[in-house]
Structure 1
């Protein structure tokens, strides 16, 4: 059957699906499910008595007779759900042979329909997953196609099937998983306190997928763009040759049509990673959707935390602050404490009186000369002015910001390497820390406490395990900006892979 004949089938009815909405749908579905289960057990041809007995064993029908089962099998045969053949194996007379005794077999169309129904019965949500290993596997497949010149018989077809399976799993599972984060059930979960425990694990899961997607997706795009088209054409021709060697009882598809079909599938795979014409690739859309999911979860977590803070009494804190002010003897110290506590007042602008044109006290304000002040729009929408503006060179500011960012990252990396070299340590064993080191330590403690396993991972590939003292021992953490009292936590810092 060529491609044109396949398209013609799209406009025709499918009689094999009639049994799903017929009057006796319960009987028809039970019969075909019994055929489907026996087909899975490699038992293909069934007699009427076997079908009737198997359906009645499920105890879902009452008063179902053998004659009714015979008529149902004939109807399903008419609808092309079953194939029938005459059964004369046990006939001892001509009359018995001529009597209507048939065996029945489920058709390929109905097998796929029942398989689909079986899958639908097990669906409880969108499901899906984000599997970075599929991206790495696809990258390996594409590189193998590019670097292989001499294909052995069957190798190209096997690699083609593996590539198509991994590609299908990647975009279907990713789409289903991201869709599951937009369901009403997910929205309800994001409003509960339980989500705070789940957020870190889910965020790490999504962030890890984005890292692999950015790295592997870019590599795949480069390989697909830089490799000549003849390399892919030769591979697809080898796949077609391997398929032609497979023995098949069905009508053989011409090699030209098979080649065109596979090249169309290959172009879909290429455009998924490289884009088409002026459109962005699906990798970009997948990365953007994953980042939006992370932002949505972080926003939900902040909303929960703000809800907890709202209405909390600050009486004890204010009383402590008031006692602190009372203990100060110098006004300068009190002003410094006030500045650290409340900061600067918000700036206010006051408009003075305008120019008066008369000294008469009886002159109405409506007779005064108006004071004209230009008001600028507070709208966030930028409106272009009528004139032209010069292009500002911001390279110097960008370079300074870049240098400051790199310096900060270098300092953070030095701190992380310091913890990594220590490996295992306790709070009581630490010397005086800088404010940045204290920030890292407290951040790790909060992340580990929020996780049931008391572990967390950093984007730099470090795993931190928090050990809570069982005896309730406490320790003092000395920092450059003060001293903290806390439990004598133990830490285990080690480097792990990015999986």
Structure 2
């Protein structure tokens, strides 16, 4: 009689994989340790593990008291969730009883491996300490120059390696810069920051930012120049070489089941690797490399749609330096014990929220904002205080005269000895004479220039120090009022509306002599009309 062998688990009806279910299970720490054992062994190309091998590895990592039964249950649970695959282990079967005893070899499933990689990336990103990699800029610059200097028919392996290194260094630069700037912003906002440690290394941090900004300015210009020097046809040819080299290693059609998970309905014998398939794979790889090159271009060159990321990083790093200095000043103020009004109001709000009764809240309000009686204030020194009790309302009490100095400073008189009163009569007379003289000179200049008649600039003659500033102001107002009208004439008025200026260009060169030099320029016919004079106001 034939005995039917137990059906392997992979041919039974499998539930929907839940590779992250072990994270919130009661024994999550044990499950994570078991999965790490499988990941580390797969890196050494050890695919299958027996339960006793897993238990021995765990005991060697500090789990001396770990029982085999606990490991077996953990492996079964992980297999049920889809993190592991369980295959029957018939290599040690010597008796019928061994045949019927459930023995399995475990290996990572695709879902379990993907979940472990996702958790590893998550932990790396959470623990990442960002940095501004000036060395990465130099690496990118060197490899771009190497690409530019390649022969006309380069080795595909050299091209592929250079492009891979370029993309890898750019990814590292972008990710680390983003992490560093995020952490720096949290430091500036004083979130999750040790103030003592920050004050200790603030000088090195600022020097670090300044050094990176200087490196970025120099290397960015060189990288952008090299990128622009590469012709688009040359770049397309290099990307095609790298894509073709990658496409040669693409798995043939129908070979998706090499890991034992053949797709439903797939025929493993139907796989083929034709020239058409190679061309399709190469086309996909070319599109991928073109996208990567576009990212490199937008990072260092940019355009209208995508701004240059290097410029944005430089601007943000430069802005971080004054922000850090402002943060340092805030910390120094806190250390010095200076009052922070916003912090005081927040503390007061907490006190109001913690007040047990409304009466306590009212007492706190009166204590904080001084809404109490002010009957201790009296009138001017020597005045008799009003006979009013402290409980009298301000509406019912008689009016009390309070000096302005008392309201402003809290004192009736300025502290210290009174100052001697200085006689400023002579100063006022001198100032009045100077103002009158200046007004007279200005009026004389207006009468000299505002004649109401057309005059060539070359015929103005010599202008003194009072006439020349007025002339320059009028000439500037006329030129600023341009462009001229259809007849080529500029007409305007001064801002105070007292003078009308008409300026019309003429041939020739005008020289205006002043006490400080000679002003030369194109000759114009200028008409200045004083609108405050009735005889001139009618002149158009």
Q: TM-score, normalised by structure 2?
A: 0.48
- Superposed, which structure 2 residues align to 1:73-472 within 5 Å? 73-118=75-120, 120-121=122-123, 126-148=128-150, 149-183=152-186, 187=190, 195=198, 198-246=201-249, 254-302=281-329
Q: Distance in 2 between matches of 1:140 and 1:258?
A: 25
Q: Deviations over 1:96-133 (max 9, x none)?
A: 33543221112354335334435655677551111111
The answer to whether the aligner puts 1:36 opposite 2:39 as a matched pair is yes
Deviation at 1:49, TM superposition (A): 2.5
**Distance change (3 Å), C-alpha of 1:189 and 1:121:** closer
Deviation at 1:147, TM superposition (A): 2.4
Q: Deviations over 1:22-65 (max 9, x none)?
A: 46534433321232233345433211223344446667798866
Q: Is the 8 A contact 1:213 1:287 kept in 2?
A: yes
Deviation at 1:20, TM superposition (A): 2.3
Q: Is the 8 A contact 2:216 2:314 kept in 1?
A: yes
Q: Distance in 2 between matches of 1:80 and 1:194?
A: 46
Stretches of structure 2 that go unaligned for 5 or more consecutive residues are 1-15, 257-277, 339-431, 433-478, 483-540
Q: Distance in 2 between matches of 1:266 and 1:180?
A: 29
**Distance change (3 Å), C-alpha of 1:219 and 1:185:** closer
Secondary structure of the equivalent of 2:90? coil
Deviation at 1:237, TM superposition (A): 0.7
Q: Distance in 2 between matches of 1:49 and 1:308?
A: 60
Deviation at 1:16, TM superposition (A): 2.5
Equivalent residue for 1:442? Answer: none
RMSD of equivalent CA atoms: 3.8
Q: Distance in 1 between matches of 2:306 and 2:111?
A: 38
**Distance change (3 Å), C-alpha of 1:86 and 1:307:** closer
Deviation at 1:390, TM superposition (A): 6.2
Paired residues, what number? 303
Q: Is the 8 A contact 1:191 1:304 kept in 2?
A: no
Q: Deviations over 1:191-242 (max 9, x none)?
A: 9576555333222211111112112212222332343211111111111122
**Distance change (3 Å), C-alpha of 1:39 and 1:235:** same
Q: Is the 8 A contact 2:298 2:307 kept in 1?
A: no
Q: Distance in 2 between matches of 1:173 and 1:82?
A: 34
Q: Distance in 1 between matches of 2:194 and 2:60?
A: 48
Comparing 29-38 with 236-245, greater Cα deviation is found at: 29-38
**Distance change (3 Å), C-alpha of 1:77 and 1:194:** closer
**Distance change (3 Å), C-alpha of 1:32 and 1:61:** farther
The answer to whether the aligner puts 1:45 opposite 2:48 as a matched pair is yes
**Distance change (3 Å), C-alpha of 1:270 and 1:305:** same
Q: Is the 8 A contact 1:128 1:174 kept in 2?
A: yes
Q: Deviations over 1:406-441 (max 9, x none)?
A: xxxxxxxxxxxxxxxxxxxxxxxxxxxxxxxxxxxx
Q: Is the 8 A contact 1:190 1:301 kept in 2?
A: no
Deviation at 1:15, TM superposition (A): 3.1
Q: Distance in 2 between matches of 1:265 and 1:271?
A: 10
Q: Distance in 2 between matches of 1:135 and 1:120?
A: 26
**Distance change (3 Å), C-alpha of 1:188 and 1:235:** same
**Distance change (3 Å), C-alpha of 1:21 and 1:151:** farther
The answer to whether the aligner puts 1:19 opposite 2:43 as a matched pair is no
**Distance change (3 Å), C-alpha of 1:61 and 1:81:** farther
**Distance change (3 Å), C-alpha of 1:276 and 1:94:** farther
